[in-house]
Chain A
């Protein structure tokens, strides 16, 4: 048995749906875990990404912390994969790109009916939102893209098993989708 591949995963401006879709491979998780072990991931307790073979990232880039995490992954992962529409195009969150960020925050935290004593959160602990939402490839180099919102468990399984087997991952009709 050769050494297991190390895989890190994270969700940036994502909805965790792509991670749920990863779990949708169901009992195939067990054979997968014979081949890989998880590094930093929402599924583990590891706080920072160490040297890895594969990094899987869902979600686009919407705030400063997203940028730091993405760069940490790029620095540590030999192969970086953008998974899901958000990571690939900005996704539905990028529909805020035609709105003014200030008026978005004002509406949600100040002028929304039903708010009492609202204020726009300003603690330095909180990451500042970026003016626009961006796909990952606009910030770092991305090696592979698995489209879908989310990609199906079957698509993720096919892609990962192709990659782990050393083949160029292929999806084909039925597995490649954008919605």
Chain B
């Protein structure tokens, strides 16, 4: 027997211990998100999943579901906030989509399309972080990083390698490679690692396979991210509303 809360006026049932995000996705309702990944613990850094609960804004990825909550997500006020957050991320990095090999498969870009972001609006930061091309098979472009820590989490929790970490504070916070040299070639990362699959933007790239998918056939060319994010969400039927990584047993 499960309880329910209201999401944009519709009842959503949930299991004890689920967050608002997990319950919504499991029930087939999309809430925009970047740093949330169904196989990992919530992170709460991107804030794109912010919803209004009882008149206050809160991150739906960390908000525990409770019976009777009144959650507002797909409303102008929240989508406006999300638009500003996505604009801030675009202004903060070098998101030159025209030459990025992740273009068309990038969650940040797809969210920008969904939210009708026409411009970053803010003064661009133009960060200057050197690429790491030291590894024979993998390239890192740190100037596109949105600090979601998915690679950090995947490498530590699933791969058991701790290849990545965040370093620094405030606007100078950035992704680093956990090696004495700071170079990816001196880690034991492999192309088959989970950390290779989870980057929502164009930071971690396998070499020599870019631009292999024709324009029109890339993931977000055909359907907007709002129409297919649910493809990645665990369903209550097959996952019991939880997942191994969320329970800390990779």
Query: What is the interface of chain A, defined by CB distance below 8 A to chain B?
Result: 82, 85, 88-92, 94-95, 97-98, 132, 134-135, 137-138, 142, 144-147, 149, 170-173, 176-179
Nearest-CB residue, chain B, relative to A93: B96
A172 vs B99: C-alpha distance when bound (angstroms): 22
Query: Closest approach, in angstroms, between the C-beta of A106 and any C-beta of chain B?
Result: 19
Interface of A is mostly: mixed
CA distance A176 to B115 in the complex (A): 10
**B116 engages A135 (CB within 8 Å):** no
Add 13 more A-B contacts to A89-B90, A89-B96, A138-B123 (CB < 8 A). Answer: A88-B118, A89-B95, A92-B99, A95-B96, A95-B99, A144-B118, A147-B118, A170-B116, A171-B118, A173-B113, A173-B114, A173-B223, A179-B100
**Can you list 7 A-B contacts (CB < 8 A)?**
A82-B119, A98-B128, A176-B113, A177-B113, A178-B97, A178-B98, A179-B100
A-side contacts of B123, CB under 8 Å: 138
A-side contacts of B223, CB under 8 Å: 173
- Closest A residue to B215 using CB positions: A179
Query: B80 at the A/B interface (Cβ < 8 Å)?
Result: no
Q: Point out the residues of chain A lying under 8 angstroms from B160, CB to CB.
A: none
Residues of chain A within 8 A of B113, CB atoms compared:
173, 176-177
How far apart are A97's CB and chain B's nearest CB, in angstroms?
A: 4
Q: Which chain B residues in 78-132 approach chain A with CB under 8 Å?
A: 90, 94-100, 103-104, 109, 112-114, 116, 118-121, 123-124, 126, 128
Task: Given the known inter-chain contacts A89-B96, A178-B98, please indicate yes or no for A94 contacting B119, CB distance below 8 A.
Answer: no
Q: In the bound complex, how far is the Cα of B113 from the Cα of A88, in angstroms? A: 15
With beta carbons under 8 angstroms apart, the residue of B116, B121, B126 that contacts A94 is B126
